[in-house]
Structure 1
Amino acid sequence: MNRPQLVHYINDSRDPGVVLSEATVRELEQLVDALYRNLDTPEPEFGAQVWYELASEELERRKVRKFPDAYGAA
């Protein structure tokens, strides 16, 4: 995901929870990766930290739901 695509996510007028819930697992993985790389720059996009945290949490939730035994959940 390039920077303009990332900015498109961050500046989406919808609630981040809605945007993230509509994303596929693959899209979430790409978004989390892009956000991480963006946060490692001298001037990350405004809001990237919040989006990174929310997207990471959503991705983790989905992985736990799909593979509960792999994460120690019963």
Structure 2
Amino acid sequence: MVKFTASDFKQVLLGYGFAEGAANDYVEMFDTLDKGLMFEHIQETKPKMAGLSIEAFAKQFATAYR
């Protein structure tokens, strides 16, 4: 695996046409993911999942957006 510095990653994003603010947000998000902090709250609280299957969710979603 190759890791890039935050500044190199930001330069790549800017090169692809990202706005400065969006590039900063992406850099922050991936840094947070890399450090294992993105889902820290979920790990701490371990919320109970509703038990809804993906199929049932898809039906509810489709109904709501028709």
TM-score band w.r.t. shorter chain: 0.3 to 0.5
Q: Which has the higher helix share?
A: 1
Higher RCO, 1 or 2 (CA under 8 Å, sep at least 6)? 1
So what's the TM-score if we normalise by structure 1?
A: 0.30
